[in-house]
């Protein structure tokens, strides 16, 4: 029991983990039942359900998917933790990160050694049930027999089983730790029928990029800044994400308003964090410290007082893995210092470093001195 309490506390996720998975009825029961042996008439080329095998014919989808985070869902950060978790918790993690039952089976027999070979969120996880292919439309003749149309492929419901914790998951300040689908439902995008796929799979492409992609994130964040008599006036808003910007508890954006000294030194004067900040402690359990994320279409204004002769800068830094590399991984490495296998420790350390390296500057604007009239700041990086 103590073990479980420790484990639950240390993670982003919370105790009754089984309840985190929002088992979408029928098509999306997680984990996905093992496919079993292929039907007798199956030609050899299509009996193999691995992503590279699909990629022999579906070249574009495979190339896109390989670049996506779905292909990397069995990550060092995940694997490094599994060893120390109880069986029920591991099952729940694998349900979303390696959702095919065959993958889970391999974990139980091979453990960390087989870890890298676990199937991630792959073609078969999304498209194949009992060797039958499903897709957005029906196809009568293919090398793998008829493809069955499943209307959900074009709807946000399709993504919800993994991108929304269930109603039973614990809530902090009224929200579960992962609430992407519900955020979308409440937005104008749901009313306009603009699905997750419309933004994340334009033209059916499978890259499905998110906050790690500066180009996509630039479309999400609206930003303008003006030099006024008083100093700086900065407007920022979520103009292009169909959920909170960012949606998960891990990433953070920092908007820095800085003055430039006469010697040309950049002097940060105001740091505004955009993130849902969580904290855990033995005494209080989980707590939400602040939620400064921008909901869809939400805008805000930041101001900074400056002397008339001061130039200034506005910079937005994005740190997609912030909470993991700053809080979770260091806490786990410390807590498990005596018990962690060297291989698991290396994985967590690798995940921490990869998290740090993923940080990037999204936008940088330069603002002049007060010239007697208001002036827009101009982009030196980004837009």
Distance between CA atoms of residues 1 and 88, nearest Å: 13
User: Which range, of 52-60, 104-112, 222-230, 333-341, touches ligand HEC by CB under 6 A?
Assistant: 52-60
- Reduce the DSSP state of residue 109 to 3 states and report it: helix
Q: Binding residue for ligand HEC (CB under 6 A) from 107, 181, 286, 336?
A: 181
327-356 residues in contact with ligand HEC (CB under 6 A) are: 351
Q: Residue 308: which of 225, 224, 226, 227 has the closest Cα?
A: 227
Q: Binding residue for ligand HEC (CB under 6 A) from 118, 147, 254, 312?
A: 147
| Residue 62 contacts ligand HEC per CB under 6 A | yes
Given the complex with ligand HEC, which of 154 and 272 has the nearer CB atom? 154
CB of 314 to ligand HEC, least distance (A): 19
Q: Are 143 and 211 in contact (CB under 8 A)?
A: no
Given the complex with ligand HEC, which of 123 and 234 has the nearer CB atom? 123
State the SS3 of 210-271. CCCCHHHHHHHEEEEEEECCCEEEEEEEECCCCCCECCCCCCEEEEEEEEECCCCCEEEEEE
- Reduce the DSSP state of residue 163 to 3 states and report it: helix
Work out the burial of residue 151: count CB atoms within 10 Å of its CB; fewer than 13 is exposed, 13-18 middle, 19 or more buried. exposed
Given the complex with ligand HEC, which of 97 and 310 has the nearer CB atom? 97
| Residue 143 contacts ligand HEC per CB under 6 A | yes
Given the complex with ligand HEC, which of 99 and 259 has the nearer CB atom? 99
| Residue 131 contacts ligand HEC per CB under 6 A | no
How many residues in the shown chain lie near ligand HEC by CB under 6 A?
A: 93
User: Which range, of 59-67, 263-271, 281-289, 302-310, touches ligand HEC by CB under 6 A?
Assistant: 59-67
Distance between CA atoms of residues 41 and 25, nearest Å: 29
Q: Are 331 and 352 in contact (CB under 8 A)?
A: no
Given the complex with ligand HEC, which of 231 and 246 has the nearer CB atom? 246
Distance between CA atoms of residues 234 and 214, nearest Å: 20
Each residue 236-275 as x (binds ligand HEC by CB under 6 A) or -, in order, gives: ----xxxx-xxxx--x------------------------
Given the complex with ligand HEC, which of 211 and 234 has the nearer CB atom? 211
Closest residue to bound ligand HEC by CB: 242
Q: Residue 6: which of 77, 94, 84 has the closest Cα?
A: 84
Q: Binding residue for ligand HEC (CB under 6 A) from 103, 121, 223, 332?
A: 121
Torsion 294-298-299-300 (CA) sign: negative
Strand partners, 367: 312
Which residues are CB-neighbours of 203 under 8 A, at least 6 positions away? none
Given the complex with ligand HEC, which of 128 and 377 has the nearer CB atom? 128
212-231 residues in contact with ligand HEC (CB under 6 A) are: 212, 216-217, 219-220
77-96 residues in contact with ligand HEC (CB under 6 A) are: 77-78, 81, 89, 92-93, 95-96
CB of 343 to ligand HEC, least distance (A): 16
């Amino acid at each position: 029991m103590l073990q479980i309490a420790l484990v639950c506390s240390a993670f982003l996720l919370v105790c009754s983990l089984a309840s985190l998975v929002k088992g979408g009825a029928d098509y999306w029961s997680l984990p996905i039942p093992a496919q079993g042996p292929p039907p007798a008439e199956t030609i050899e080329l299509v009996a193999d359900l691995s992503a590279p095998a699909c990629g022999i014919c579906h070249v574009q989808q495979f190339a896109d998917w390989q670049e996506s985070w779905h292909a990397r869902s069995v990550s060092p950060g995940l694997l490094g933790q599994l060893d120390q978790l109880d069986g029920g918790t591991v099952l729940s993690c694998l349900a979303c990160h390696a959702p095919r039952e065959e993958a889970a089976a391999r974990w139980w027999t091979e453990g960390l050694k087989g870890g890298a070979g676990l199937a991630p969120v792959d073609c078969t996880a999304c498209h194949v049930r009992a060797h039958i292919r499903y897709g957005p439309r029906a196809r009568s003749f293919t090398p793998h027999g008829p493809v069955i149309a499943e209307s959900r492929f074009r709807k946000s419901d399709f993504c919800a089983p993994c991108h929304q914790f269930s109603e039973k998951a614990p809530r902090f300040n009224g929200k579960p730790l992962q609430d992407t689908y519900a955020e979308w439902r409440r937005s104008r995008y749901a009313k306009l029928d603009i699905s997750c796929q419309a933004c994340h799979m334009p033209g059916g492409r499978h890259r499905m990029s998110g906050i790690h992609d500066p180009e996509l994130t630039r479309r999400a964040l609206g930003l303008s800044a003006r030099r006024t008599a008083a100093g700086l006036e900065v407007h920022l808003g979520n103009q292009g994400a169909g959920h909170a910007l960012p949606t998960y508890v891990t990433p953070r954006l920092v908007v820095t308003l800085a003055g430039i000294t006469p010697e040309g030194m950049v002097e940060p004067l105001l740091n505004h964090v955009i993130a849902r900040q969580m904290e855990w402690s033995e005494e209080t359990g989980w707590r939400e410290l602040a939620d400064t994320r921008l909901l869809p279409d939400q805008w805000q204004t930041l101001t900074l007082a400056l002397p008339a002769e001061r130039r200034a800068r506005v910079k937005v830094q994005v740190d997609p893995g912030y909470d993991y590399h700053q809080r979770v991984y260091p806490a786990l490495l410390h807590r498990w210092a005596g018990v962690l296998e060297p291989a698991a420790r290396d994985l967590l350390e690798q995940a921490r470093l990869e998290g740090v390296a993923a940080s990037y500057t999204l936008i940088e604007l330069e603002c002049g001195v007060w010239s007697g009239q208001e002036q827009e700041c101009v982009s030196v990086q980004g837009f």
